[in-house]
């Protein structure tokens, strides 16, 4: 089955031992494309390197809310420089994460998020949004930038929140969570979101779908996400594969 992984972290240290081997296998196994997303400045630098080295890799550059303290003028300038590579197709992952208490204070996160949304608007690039337990504040900031679109990755909100994101022109990103036995909320969201606004992603090394739950994730496993979405929508998996590939290509401007 053909797959485009719309959100991966192959720069993660859990791939240090066998990264090149895994990437070679992905290509061999019908993975048409991978958008590797930076989480820190270093992750963004590594994402660009991976994308420049591997023809089917693309990069998103940005700083995750966990590292919001590092979003300063100097580092925004560095991200802007990285974005000059023609393999950089998005700003991300950026957003808000109120789940972990040790994360930077909300105000620091919001300001870092807004600064990077401004960058995306200036560079005319889509955004990869991370939102955990911060739906309302995330939405408020997305609304400040009506010119910008992107994807709310690893979506964890309600149907109502999904509708509001769709209204703003955003795509909804589905991970292995949709295959989990106790998944109800995200299954309901999958019923509601039109196929032409869905993206599929690993968020690897995390979020592996059943039957690999808890293991190191990789792009081939997206097959299980596609099959689950097909089952939910009562359509053919090939259709889900085809449409999600076309969606991500459109979002990040691949011919
Ligand atoms: Ni991620």
Per-residue pLDDT of the chain (255 residues; tens, 9 = 90+): 999 999 999 999 999 999 999 999 999 999 999 999 999 999 999 999 999 999 999 999 999 999 999 999 999 999 999 999 999 999 999 999 999 999 999 999 999 999 999 999 999 999 999 999 999 999 999 999 999 999 999 999 999 999 999 999 999 999 999 999 999 999 999 999 999 999 999 999 999 999 999 999 999 999 999 999 999 999 999 999 999 999 999 999 999
User: Separation of 160 CA from ligand 1 center, angstroms?
Assistant: 23
> How long, in residues, is the chain?
255
Burial class (CB in 10 A: 0-12, 13-18, 19+), 155: buried
User: Separation of 9 CA from ligand 1 center, angstroms?
Assistant: 7
Q: What's residue 157's pLDDT?
A: 96
pTM higher than 0.85: yes
pLDDT digits (tens, 9 = 90+) for 89-121: 999 999 999 999 999 999 999 999 999 999 999
The residues, any chain, with a CB within 8 Å of residue 164's CB and separated by 6 or more, are 139
User: Separation of 33 CA from ligand 1 center, angstroms?
Assistant: 16
User: Separation of 7 CA from ligand 1 center, angstroms?
Assistant: 6
Burial class (CB in 10 A: 0-12, 13-18, 19+), 19: middle
Contact 36, 50 (CB under 8 A): yes
Q: What's residue 111's pLDDT?
A: 98
User: Separation of 222 CA from ligand 1 center, angstroms?
Assistant: 15
User: Separation of 62 CA from ligand 1 center, angstroms?
Assistant: 11
H helices of the chain, in order, are: 19-28, 41-53, 73-82, 106-123, 135-143, 159-167, 185-192, 222-233, 237-251
Burial class (CB in 10 A: 0-12, 13-18, 19+), 165: buried
Interatomic CA distance for residues 1 and 23, integer angstroms: 17
State the Rg of the chain over Cα.
17
Q: How many helices (H) and strands (E) does the chain have?
A: 9, 8
Cα 64 off chain centre by = 11
Query: Which DSSP state fits 162?
Result: H
Q: What's residue 186's pLDDT?
A: 98
Interatomic CA distance for residues 153 and 69, integer angstroms: 22
User: Separation of 174 CA from ligand 1 center, angstroms?
Assistant: 12
Q: For the chain, how long is the longest CA-to-CA vector? A: 49
Closest C-alpha among 113, 20, 8 to residue 71? 113
User: Separation of 93 CA from ligand 1 center, angstroms?
Assistant: 7
Q: What's residue 160's pLDDT?
A: 98
């Amino acid at each position: 089955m053909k797959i485009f992984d719309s959100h991966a972290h192959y720069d993660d240290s859990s791939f240090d031992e066998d990264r090149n081997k895994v990437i070679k296998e992905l290509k061999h196994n019908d993975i048409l494309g991978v958008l590797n997303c930076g989480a820190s400045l270093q992750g963004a630098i590594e994402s660009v390197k991976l994308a420049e080295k591997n023809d089917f890799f693309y990069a998103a550059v940005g700083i995750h809310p966990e590292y919001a303290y590092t979003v300063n003028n100097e580092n925004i300038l560095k991200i802007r420089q990285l974005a000059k590579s023609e393999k950089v197709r998005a700003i991300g992952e950026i957003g808000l994460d109120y789940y972990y208490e040790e994360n930077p204070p909300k105000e620091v996160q919001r300001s870092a998020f807004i600064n990077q949304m401004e960058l995306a608007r200036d560079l005319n690039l889509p955004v990869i949004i991370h939102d955990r337990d911060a739906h309302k504040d995330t939405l408020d900031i997305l609304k400040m930038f009506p010119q910008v679109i992107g994807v709310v990755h690893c979506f964890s909100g309600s149907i109502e929140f999904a509708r509001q994101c769709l209204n703003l022109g955003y795509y909804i990103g589905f991970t292995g969570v949709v295959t989990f036995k106790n998944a109800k909320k995200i299954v309901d969201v999958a019923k509601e979101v039109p196929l032409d606004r869905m993206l599929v992603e690993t968020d690897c090394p995390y979020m592996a779908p059943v039957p690999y739950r808890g293991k190191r994730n990789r792009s081939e496993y997206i097959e299980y996400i596609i099959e689950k979405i097909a089952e939910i929508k009562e359509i053919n998996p090939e259709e889900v594969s085809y449409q999600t590939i076309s969606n991500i290509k459109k979002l990040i401007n691949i011919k």
